[in-house]
Amino acid sequence: MESTRAKIVLVDDNMSSLTQGRNILKAFYEVYPVPSVTKLFEILENVIPDLILLDVEMPETNGYEAIKKLKADDRFAKIPVIFLTSRGDDNSHLEGLDLGATDYISKPFSAPLLLKRIANQLLIVRQHKDLLADRGNDSDKMVKERTMEILRLQNAVFAAVADLMEFRDHQTSGHTRRIRLYLKTLLAELVRTGTYKKEIADWEMDFFLSSSQLHDVGKIAISDQILNKPGKLTPEEFEKMKNHVAIGVDAIEKIMLDAEEHVFLRHALAIVGTHHEKWDGTGYPTGFKGLSIPLEGRLMAIADVYDALISERPYKPAWSHEDACRIIEAGAGTHFDAVLVDVFKNVEAEFAKIAREIVP
């Protein structure tokens, strides 16, 4: 596989050395033989090699001058340089190493020795790169790019599913968009006030917001007769309606089984699974109490109920913003996390604004 072979530039003014070196290396590497330092810098404009083999004694520019120029240029400073020298004296080797050469090789070449030392050098560089990548920089950037890619994918899939849900539900895309903005508003206020700082420290906010679109995904499996019933549900019908949580959790868990990056789906699982839990333990499906309800679910409960309250449903009229606030405040400590109700109170005007701007 040509493209994965290491690239080596061989610089030597002596044609027989150049040919000999190229013949030894070409079976293992992509070799670029050049006869002068001028040609070396020409080729560097197009190829960044993994290694430079640099003859020390050349007319015009010699190896020492060449390596100084290489080390002074950010683009080339990190390319390892091995000096090729016919002088056996330690002083010239030392001088080369002082200037930043990583090794030297004596001419005429011994083929096995040349290959061995090059292989060692390339191995050291690769190990060093792996180490750096593990520590951050390159790896951070790659993880970020990969995360953005997954986010885009998740968002596209979740948005498509949310669109499909509209065919079943009386709810419109306005509901989905408003909920996302309520949550964004609550989160911003949490961050501003330092509330639940530890809990949200490791959150992937965009994944959380994107996941909110799916909170009622399980409603897809609820019969139309119950879902769009114009009046109050019977207790039996309400039991069936409650299944939308378990059905949604099943769907998310199925995705998680196959997804390598299932860590990003933890927010979706928590939102879908716990948005109907109540602070006092009377919610469903599990009856989690207080802080044992994931923060995602506690936040979603406020956003979801606020929007249900201000919206007209087949089973209820639309309440005013003031009534909705009263109902939510009355639920502090019973239905809702009282700390989050306080946070909600700080930003309720923004909720009203969102509701005004995104009408069904």
Which residue number is nearest to ligand C2E in terms of Cβ? 315
For residue 207, the minimal CB distance to ligand C2E (Å) is: 22
Residues 6+ apart with CB under 8 A from 32: 7, 8, 9, 10, 43, 47, 49
CA angle at residue 227 from 225 to 228, to 5 degrees?
70
State how far the Cα of 113 lies from the Cα of 109, in Å rounded to an integer: 8
Nearer to ligand C2E, 70 or 293 (CB): 293
| 206 scored as a contact of ligand SIN (CB under 6 A) | yes
| 276 scored as a contact of ligand C2E (CB under 6 A) | yes
Stretches 28-36, 97-105, 178-186, 216-224: which one binds Fe ion (CB under 5 A)?
216-224
| 55 scored as a contact of Fe ion (CB under 5 A) | no
State how far the Cα of 356 lies from the Cα of 360, in Å rounded to an integer: 10
For residue 129, the minimal CB distance to Fe ion (Å) is: 49
| 348 scored as a contact of Fe ion (CB under 5 A) | no
| 220 scored as a contact of ligand C2E (CB under 6 A) | no
Strand ordering across the sheet containing 7-11: 30-34, 7-11, 51-55, 81-85, 103-106
Whole-number Cα distances in Å, 87 to 3, 96, 310: 35, 12, 88
Exposed/middle/buried for 240, CB within 10 Å: 0-12, 13-18, 19+? middle
Phi, psi of 316 (to 5 degrees): -160, 155
Q: From residue 161 to residue 180, what is the string marking binding to ligand SIN with x (rule CB under 6 A)?
A: -------------------x
Nearer to ligand SIN, 209 or 354 (CB): 209
Judged by CB under 6 A, the chain residues 123 through 162 that form the site for ligand SIN are 155
Q: From residue 248 to residue 287, what is the string marking binding to ligand SIN with x (rule CB under 6 A)?
A: -x-------------------xx--xx-----------x-
Residue by residue, DSSP assigns 161-192 as: HHHHHHHHSS--HHHHHHHHHHHHHHHHHHHH
Q: Which stretch of DSSP H or E encloses residue 318? A: none
For residue 272, the minimal CB distance to ligand C2E (Å) is: 13
Exposed/middle/buried for 312, CB within 10 Å: 0-12, 13-18, 19+? exposed
Find which of ligand SIN, Fe ion, ligand C2E, none residue 278 binds, CB within 5 to 8 Å per kind: none
Residues that bind ligand SIN (CB under 6 A): 155, 180, 184, 206, 209-210, 232, 249, 269-270, 273-274, 286, 294, 315-316
Residues that bind Fe ion (CB under 5 A): 216
Residues that bind ligand C2E (CB under 6 A): 229, 232-233, 241, 276, 304-305, 308-309, 313-316, 327
